[in-house]
């Protein structure tokens, strides 16, 4: 199953916190935390772009209104295909 950006962020942040307890100083912790957040944002951006492409590809033969109503259905199909 492919991790979502939020799941990845949660895991990375927990690992960082565990590491911080004895190994990292505050400055290094803050730098790594910012890096993790930037990576999660990039992951989410890529996922949203992939979803938009998926929607557009599936909606290209429908009229705009019908495609708009199908967005939630497209998301569920897209999400299950990512697992």
pLDDT in tens, 3-52: 788 888 888 888 887 777 777 778 888 888 889 889 988 988 888 888 88
Distances (CA, A) of 56 to 6, 14, 64, 80: 25, 36, 10, 18
Distances (CA, A) of 18 to 15, 27, 29, 67, 80: 5, 16, 11, 46, 32
Enter the pTM of the model: 0.62
């Amino acid at each position: 199953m492919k991790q979502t950006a939020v799941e990845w962020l949660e895991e990375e942040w927990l690992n960082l916190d565990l590491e911080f307890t004895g190994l990292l100083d505050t400055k290094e912790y803050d730098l790594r935390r910012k890096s993790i957040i930037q990576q999660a944002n990039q992951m989410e951006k890529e996922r949203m772009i992939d979803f938009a492409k998926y929607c557009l590809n599936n909606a290209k033969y429908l009229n705009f209104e019908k495609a708009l109503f199908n967005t939630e259905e497209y998301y569920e199909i897209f999400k299950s295909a990512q697992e």
